[in-house]
Amino acid sequence: MKTRKILLPEKELPRKWYNVQADLPTPLEPVLHPGTGQPVGPDDLAPLFPMPLIAQEVSQERFIDIPDEILEKYLIWRPTPLYRAYGLEKALDTPAKIYFKNEGVSPAGSHKPNTAIAQAYYNKISGIKRITTETGAGQWGSALAFSCALFGLECKVYMVKISYNQKPYRRMMMETWGANCVASPSTETNAGKKILSQNPDSPGSLGIAISEAIEAAVSDKTGQTRYSLGSVLNHVLMHQTVIGLECQKQMKIAGDYPDIVIGCAGGGSNFAGLALPFVRDKINGKKIDIIAVEPASCPTMTKGPFAYDFGDSVQMAPLAPMHTLGHTFVPAPIHAGGLRYHGMAPIVSQLILDGIVRPISIQQLETFKAGITFARAEGFISAPETNHAIAAAIREAVKAKEEGKKKVILFNWSGHGLVDMAAYEAYLSGKLKDHALPEAEIQRALKDIEPLPKPRQYRAGAF
């Protein structure tokens, strides 16, 4: 009988996170203060994050210990299984071996609790009582709500309005875990009111929701509220490396090593979680094609410049060196809400500049077709975001067949789509349409970053 599922015993759960900053060929350029334009220091970030997370954000240590209290919570669902996708291989008639890491087995249904648990813990031990955050499709918001419930913290979530309306069950998940979820832009913050005054029908964006969450955190007079981000930041990507570290052990058990590593990428967290341990291998000489996949309607990596930009729409967040479509960019209301962010993690952006990561974009209809193919071959119904990784894996498997090469393909199955069935209904009934972002819209959005400082490696063109 073929081994379909590769499991790790609990004792093999990684005890340390991997920090790729120790191995980057080109060090990251500094994050800048939104007011002064100078590199931010710990005191600048203290109103937003607890000190242990600030220390991790700038750490150059290669491995950082995972506290026992976090490991205890990880064991609720970790280690997660690695699957050999025999059904998909057969459906594609490919000589390639296809593996996927199943991060949908967490209570929240995605990879997001890997960092949500850690962030809730560090806030708890720092005396924080309440956390604010934003969420796109709702995976991050539900993961943080779940994690705050475990540590007895209050949780306030600003959910992008289009996703708030498209995905009511995500909101219900958050409320079940005790969080307060509101549609963004809202009338609860000055940032939300400003956006609504300009466009009362705004569908919202992650940049807007971030502005609201940051404002709610820093305006709390008690000093017991902090902000939490589910992607982009260095410490967030580091927490996610439990995925790739487990996967390396599981691939060894399977007797294989990937030629191709794939993840969908909105802000970069699930992609980096799988890819960064393999990035280290590539830096050390392994031949691996590492692919980050984004929507064609939000082509941050493939068409956006590498520049300094604000992490939010109202310019409250620090300036980060990243691929960006401009902080005022409002993407089309596609169903992959978690991939609709205007920027990309500085770490992922730097790896693209260094030629270690290869970004691609895929149209919406191709991703849903891939999700349907995967569901019918493997049984699992994927989140719309995850379908981007599946589509790229299918492309590579078909290419392997055309070239007659026995490639080993690994992708991150970052979350299930069981609360995204309205999106599948829209696809199956022919209501979904492709949407490629017009060049004129990109250029209009980028005008807002022209006056901002330029990073040393500034690049204005597409990749």
For 136: left if phi > 0, alpha if psi spans -120 to 50, otherwise beta; the answer is alpha
359 CB-near residues (< 8 Å, 6+ apart): 265, 291, 292, 293, 294, 301, 302, 352, 463
pLDDT of 130 higher than 60: yes
- At 140 the pLDDT is 94
pLDDT at 439: 84
Over range 169-176, report the average pLDDT: 95
266-284 mean pLDDT: 97
**pLDDT at residue 396, rounded to an integer:** 98
pLDDT in tens, 307-351: 999 988 778 889 999 999 998 887 776 666 667 788 999 999 999
Mean pLDDT estimate for the chain:
94
CA separation (Å) from 314 to 17, 195, 299, 329? 33, 9, 21, 11
Output the pLDDT for position 462: 59
pLDDT exceeds cutoff 60 at 79? yes
- DSSP state for residue 324 in the 8-state scheme: B
CATH topology of domain 77-109+235-449: Rossmann fold (3.40.50)
- Domains of the chain: which residue ranges? 16-66+112-231, 77-109+235-449
Task: Check whether 463 has a pLDDT greater than 70.
Answer: no
Give 194-247 pLDDT, tens digit per residue.
Answer: 999 999 999 998 889 989 999 999 999 899 999 999 999 999 999 999 999 999
Q: Is the pLDDT of residue 286 over 70?
A: yes
What local confidence, expressed as pLDDT, does residue 342 receive? 87
Residue ranges in 167-326 assigned as alpha helix (H): 168-176, 190-198, 206-218, 234-239, 242-254, 269-283, 300-303
390-440 tens-digit pLDDT: 999 999 999 999 999 999 999 999 999 999 898 999 999 999 989 877 888
Task: Assess contact for 446 and 305: CB atoms under 8 A.
Answer: yes
Statement: residue 85 has pLDDT above 60: yes
- Which residue reads 């006056």 in tokens? 451
Portion of the chain with pLDDT greater than 70, in percent? 98
What single DSSP character describes residue 352?
H
Which among 366, 402, 229 is positioned nearest to 293, based on CA atoms?
366
As a whole number of angstroms, the distance between CA 81 and CA 100 comes to 9
- Look at 315 and 147; give whichever has higher pLDDT: 147
CATH class belonging to 16-66+112-231: alpha beta
Asked whether the predicted pLDDT for residue 193 surpasses 70, the reply is: yes
**pLDDT at residue 66 tops 90:** yes
Q: Token pair for residue 169?
A: 């069950």
The reply to whether 16-66+112-231 and 77-109+235-449 are identical in fold is yes
pLDDT for 461 equals 65
Percent of the chain with pLDDT over 90: 82
pLDDT at 401: 98
pLDDT over 90 at 378, yes or no? yes
User: Of 37-41, 406-410, 441-445, which one has max mean pLDDT?
Assistant: 406-410
